A and B are shown apart, each in its own frame.
Chain A
Amino acid sequence: MLLDIRNLNVSYGGIKALRDVSISFEGKSIVSIIGANGAGKTTLLNAVMNIQPVVSGEVYFNGEKITGLPAHQLAAKGISLVPEGRMLFTHLTVLDNLVLGAYAFMKQLGKKDIEKRLGHVYELFPILKERTTQLAGTLSGGQQQMLAIGRALMSEPQLLMLDEPSMGLAPLLVKDILNVIKRLNEEGVSIFLIEQNARAALKLSHHAFVLESGVLVKSGSGAELLSDERVKKAYLGG
């Protein structure tokens, strides 16, 4: 198993945000979680990255227990998170943001390796190449999302976790972003995706889970869930 989440419980004060959530999947797949606002989707990703402390449960990555390891060590192990709301370094240039994405490997990487990785990101998002010296905070929403994904890719992760990459974007841009995600997966990156845009996410995913009020209520292949009556009613608009 690439990622193996076992009986994860997370609370905010007295409120349980995740109850006994268990998810596991093999590498090189696209796995998504769909669910309404407040279902605990972001909490789940943040708990895996250990930005959010867990109450109980374990997370294994490539068979190694990673629960409780600090986030900066997880980055070095090959997990990369595109956080909710992008969390760019808005006062830094586009180039600085990208280079920071490879921070965990900076000691091993030479200038040439960094250039090569930058080249790959610019190939996926050509607009970023034109904006290298611009401050990240002055980019448009779509460009910021591209930068957030590009930054996460600079560490050449094995597992890329994306938290609502389509949030606040025009429909055409959403399509672009989803195409990039598909392409990355074809290049061998495993994708763990959280989306409110359930239809688009399910179409893309090999496997998907439905999260409701912190509990996993359903799982199946993307196609299965797309035709599931309950999922249709609740998340796909009938």
Chain B
Amino acid sequence: MGRGNFTTLLVFITAISLFPFIGSGSYVLTVGIFSGINALVAIGLCILMGYAGQVSLGQAGFYGIGAYVSAVISVKFGLPVIVCMAAGMAVAAGAAVVLAIPALRLKGHYLAVATLGFGEIIHVILNEWGLGGPSGFGDIPNFSLFGITVESASSFFYLVWGVVAVTAVFSFNLINSRNGRALRAIHDSETASNAMGVDVSVLKIKVFILSAVYAAFAGSLYAHYVTFISPASFSLFHSVLLLMMVIVGGITNIWGAIVGAVVITVLPELLKKFEEFDILVYGLILTLSLMFFRKGLVPLIIDKLQQRKGSGRA
């Protein structure tokens, strides 16, 4: 990871560590936790879409798989939560392979529709299967590791954002690795990548798996924090929200995914004072931001900083 990213990471970690001292109260912390959970999914989606150039409108499906598999195993078999979460990620990875193989032949809008269909299938399964159906699945144990149960909002906040930080570092290293370069290459030209020796199909499957595992990890964290899940949280609407996060933050930058996730999660909370008009204002803000900051918030900030640096030197 580059120097700029390293500095940003330090700022980011400081902000996260101080947040529970500034933003006290479980409501504020819970919004912070949901931001972190969404950021985790968004990072995966950002690598999939912004770097590898694949589209997914079914990310909530993987998120739901992670949540349900982990929740059901922990309730029915009483296994350690960490084992259940790993199982959730494994099942999501398997689902990603099943989705990726037919999706390899598809591009652009067609891929978007196929992934959307996948998300809907998962949503229907969660609704119809005997796991509580639409009324949800409850009594999920809290997250615990080595006998220590993470119950309080502030400790869970640190847990979630710790995971986000580690994932972000891992993702930056991935992007700058040999495989990361190849991912960006298939975005530009699959044929040329192939001719250079890149196994495009395998790489695409791998990136689908990666984004699915991130989403499933986030889903299982969600399940073990809220301790109650229902299919409504894993619908197409959530997939679209995730897409919004990545786009608003800036699809070509992992920091963008994190910033976008925080903005999209916090914004509706801030707009609550508009009461029944909140959704209108929300829509308006999103539309305007897409009109005026087309590249996304983070690339915009980077551009501004560079301009400043440039004019400072001149």
Contact = CB atoms under 8 A, between A and B. Distances in A.
Q: Which of A89, A90, A99, A105 has the most CB of B within 10 A?
A: A89
Interface stretch (B29-37, B151-159, B186-194, B263-271): B186-194
B200 interface: yes
B178 A81 contact: no
A87 B191 CA distance: 8
Nearest to B53: A91
Nearest to A101: B196
Contact of A51 (B181, B182, B185, B195): B195
Contact of B197 (A51, A76, A89, A90): A76
A96 B198 CA distance: 14
A184 B227 CA distance: 66
Given A92-B185, A92-B188, A96-B184, A103 B194 contact: no
A168 B46 CA distance: 36
B194 A70 contact: yes
A18 interface: no
B199 interface: yes
The majority secondary structure among interface residues of chain B is helix
B195 A49 contact: yes
Contacts of B195: 49, 51, 71-72, 75, 80-81, 83, 87
Contact of B185 (A76, A83, A100, A106): A100
A109 to B, nearest CB: 10
Nearest to A105: B197
Contacts, number: 70
Contacts of A103: 178, 181-182, 196-198
Given A51-B191, A72-B197, A92-B181, 11 more contacts: A70-B199, A71-B194, A71-B195, A72-B198, A80-B195, A87-B192, A92-B185, A100-B181, A100-B182, A100-B193, A103-B178
Contact of B189 (A71, A73, A87): A87
Interface residues of B, number: 18
Interface string B107-140: 0000000000000000000000000000000000
A151 interface: yes
A151 B181 CA distance: 14
Contacts of A21: none
Contacts of A75: 195-197
Q: What 9 A-B pairs are tightest by C-beta distance, nearest first?
A: A104-B197, A75-B197, A87-B192, A89-B188, A71-B194, A103-B197, A72-B199, A81-B195, A87-B189
A87 B196 CA distance: 11
Most chain B beta carbons < 10 A, residue from A49, A71, A104, A106: A71
Contacts of A71: 194-195
A66 interface: no
Contacts of A89: 184-185, 188-189, 192-193
A213 B217 CA distance: 57
6 contacts: A87-B191, A88-B188, A92-B184, A92-B185, A104-B197, A155-B197
Contacts of B192: 83, 87-89
Contacts of A76: 197
